[in-house]
């Protein structure tokens, strides 16, 4: 027998010998767990039906995450004796599992409301509990009241602005959502930019190749107008390299009904990679995600990602994940619709997989402040789990410069959504997570920062600057003119992006037609393809894959990048961060360490 405070009652628990769950006896005290002001644009509208279902996600603490983080940095540091000694799925699960006391406390709380083990699901490590409940029961459990909230644009959502838990549960639960996360489930705002042109302009044809000063490799002049697989191989010194190791792999994530069309992929291969004709990718559905093959339903984002990531890394086996669902978020004035991705659903799935792809690219992201900090931190810890297992994760840094690249300063929306409405640069998440590699964009030969749109970059407000980039970021900040953008960014935050790659005028096939497309959503799968090639070098030498890249990139491999010396990342009515006139190499601004030189990197990583 033992006492437990739960659901507003003090319970005397007679434990079930099989489940350990029990039933209530006496009252106890609630305490607010989280409370927010209603976000801009939302007003209470009506009361939801009592039987309206909510899929509730309960995050249990990960008390040993600091141990996992230590392992992650040791196995990712090329100068550490444990470099490359990645952990197994089972080892990672043990390091992020909640204490049994937390599991028991949550079980008992759920049992007090009639919820049994059969009515819920648990993540691979047991750190997330997911269940579907009617709103009337959720209100009782959280001592709160949900409302239908209406946005200025007419959208509606069922949420609350505050929820409470019994005091004894506060140490056993990190967060519960959806509660205070407001969202509007509409189409994705990806980091993608279109062009109606499909061919290189005549003035670029029949010109002599341009010798890339950074690599010494000739690059077709047409690459100044149209990016192909051949251009990327030339630009990044990967001409003639053919992957051979059977154990290699690469993956692309897809969200919000973005379908990767196989017929378009074959047209792309016929156009740019004829040796890959007839090959395809493995499709994996997450949470009921689809990959419809009607040509008219082909997704620009999905086609771009799979065509260039898999085309550049052929014949390395590729996997395309389609995740269904649209998650909640706190909207800011610059993001009035739901542009977050269901990262946690995909993460739960991939973390349960014994052999995830070794190089994975995601071309979606959102303003960091639109994702509640508690949710962002938990998702970031999930990325760390993958890194510890030997997976390299790439994310686009975004196309908004330091926040909003709207050319009209009067309509740019660069201010906080915390009630202060303070002017602020807005970094992108998940790119701001220190456990992923953020990829910015370049254009042209020689490469400069993109001019038709602006490579996202800046400094996180959620995550502190990690040790691996401390030296280079400090040098850059010291080189900035004194007082530059004082108060507009967090000088102690994690800097993004880490690296860069071409980001404009990629020639893809979409619904049977050639199109030119751009955005850092092109840069990320390109860099992921290069990482897959580097993994092939290591695997062929009997070495483990690269895994979490950043400690390597900022140290031993830093000389394997082409520094970008020209450009800036405008936004928020400013020119953003820049390199113009700043004589510091390898700086962190809008292109990070620069673009990859595969010829150098394959020697540095082997």
Q: d(Cα 55, Cα 428) in Å, to the nearest integer?
A: 26
348 is catalytic: no
Backbone angles phi, psi at 305, to 5 degrees: -65, -50
Can you read off the two tokens belonging to residue 79?
């100068």
447 is catalytic: no
Q: d(Cα 202, Cα 222) in Å, to the nearest integer?
A: 9
Alpha helices in 286-420, H assignment, sequence order? 300-313, 343-351, 373-388
Q: What is the DSSP string of 226-263?
A: -B-HHHHHHHTT-TT-----TT--EEEEEETT-B--HH
Of 93, 104, 155, 301, which residue is the catalytic one? Answer: 301
Q: In what order do the strands lie in the sheet with 26-27?
A: 2-6, 9-13, 26-27
301 is catalytic: yes
Of 190, 397, 455, 521, which residue is the catalytic one? Answer: 521
State whether residue 175 is helix, strand or coil.
Answer: strand
Side-chain-side CA neighbours of residue 160 (13 Å)? 24
The secondary structure of residue 553, as a DSSP letter, is H
Of 93, 155, 305, 447, which residue is the catalytic one? Answer: 305
| Cβ partners under 8 Å of residue 601, min gap 6 | 530, 534, 557, 560
Side-chain-side CA neighbours of residue 517 (13 Å)? 23
Q: How many CB atoms sit inside 10 A of residue 332's CB?
A: 23
- Over the Cα atoms of the chain, what is R_g? 25
Q: d(Cα 252, Cα 394) in Å, to the nearest integer?
A: 10
For tokens 């291969």, the residue is 269
CA angle 79, 473, 403 (to 5 degrees): 130
| Cβ partners under 8 Å of residue 286, min gap 6 | 321, 322, 323, 324, 345, 346, 349
State whether residue 9 is helix, strand or coil.
Answer: strand
Segment holding 158, helix H or strand E: strand 156-159
Contact 191, 203 (CB under 8 A): no
What are the residue numbers of the active site?
Answer: 301, 305, 521
């Amino acid at each position: 027998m033992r006492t437990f405070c739960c659901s507003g009652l003090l319970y005397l628990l007679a434990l079930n010998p099989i489940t350990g769950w029990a039933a209530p006896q006496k009252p106890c005290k609630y305490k607010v767990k989280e409370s927010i002001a209603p976000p801009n644009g939302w007003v209470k509208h009506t009361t939801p039906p009592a039987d309206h279902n909510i899929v509730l996600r309960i995050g249990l603490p990960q008390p040993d995450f600091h141990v996992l983080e230590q392992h992650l940095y040791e196995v990712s540091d090329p100068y550490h004796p444990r470099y490359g000694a990645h952990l197994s799925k089972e080892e990672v699960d043990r390091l992020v599992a909640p204490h049994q006391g937390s599991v028991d406390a949550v079980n008992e709380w759920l049992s007090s409301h009639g919820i049994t083990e059969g009515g819920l699901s648990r993540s691979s490590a047991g750190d997330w509990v997911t269940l579907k409940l009617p709103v009337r029961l959720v209100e009782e459990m959280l001592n709160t009241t949900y409302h239908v909230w209406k946005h200025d644009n007419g959208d509606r959502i069922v949420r609350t602005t505050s929820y409470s838990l019994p005091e004894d549960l506060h140490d056993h639960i990190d967060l519960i959502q959806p509660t205070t996360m407001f969202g509007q489930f509409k189409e994705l705002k990806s980091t993608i930019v279109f062009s109606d042109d499909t061919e290189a302009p005549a003035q670029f044809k029949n010109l002599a190749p341009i010798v890339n000063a950074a690599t010494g490799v000739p690059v077709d002049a047409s690459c100044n107008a149209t990016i192909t697989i051949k251009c990327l191989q030339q630009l990044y010194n990967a001409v003639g390299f053919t992957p051979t190791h059977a154990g290699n792999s690469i993956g692309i994530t897809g969200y919000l009904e973005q379908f990767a069309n196989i017929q378009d992929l074959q047209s792309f291969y016929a156009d740019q990679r004829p040796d890959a004709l007839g090959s395809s990718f493995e499709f994996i559905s997450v949470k009921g995600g689809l990959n419809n093959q009607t040509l008219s339903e082909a997704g620009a984002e999905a086609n771009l990602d799979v065509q260039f990531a898999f085309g550049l890394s052929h014949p390395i086996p590729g996997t395309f994940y389609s995740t269904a669902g649209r998650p909640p978020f706190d909207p800011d004035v610059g993001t009035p619709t739901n542009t977050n991705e269901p990262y946690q659903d995909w993460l739960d799935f991939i973390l349960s997989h014994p052999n995830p792809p070794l190089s994975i690219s995601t071309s979606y992201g959102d303003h960091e402040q639109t994702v509640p900090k508690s949710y962002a931190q938990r998702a970031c810890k999930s990325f760390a789990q993958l890194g510890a297992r030997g997976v390299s994760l790439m994310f686009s840094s975004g196309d908004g410069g330091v926040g909003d690249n709207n050319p009209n300063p009067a309509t740019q929306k660069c201010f906080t959504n915390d009630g202060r409405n303070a002017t602020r640069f807005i970094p992108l998440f998940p790119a701001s997570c220190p456990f992923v590699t953020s990829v910015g964009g370049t254009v042209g030969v020689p490469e400069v920062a993109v001019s038709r749109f602006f490579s996202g970059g800046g400094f996180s407000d959620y995550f502190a600057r990690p040790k691996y980039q401390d030296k280079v970021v400090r040098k850059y900040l010291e080189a900035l003119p004194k007082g530059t953008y004082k108060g507009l960014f967090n000088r102690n935050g994690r800097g993004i992006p880490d690296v860069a790659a071409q980001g404009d005028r990629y020639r893809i096939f979409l619904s049977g037609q050639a199109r030119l497309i751009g955005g850092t959503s092109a840069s990320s799968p390109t860099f992921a393809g290069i990482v897959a090639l580097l993994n092939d070098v290591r695997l062929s030498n009997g070495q483990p894959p690269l895994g979490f890249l950043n400690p390597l990139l900022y140290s031993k491999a830093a000389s394997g990048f082409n520094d970008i010396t020209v450009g800036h990342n405008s936004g928020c009515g400013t020119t953003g961060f820049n390199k113009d006139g700043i004589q510091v190499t390898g700086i962190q601004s809008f292109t990070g360490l620069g673009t990859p030189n595969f010829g150098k990197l394959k020697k540095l990583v082997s």
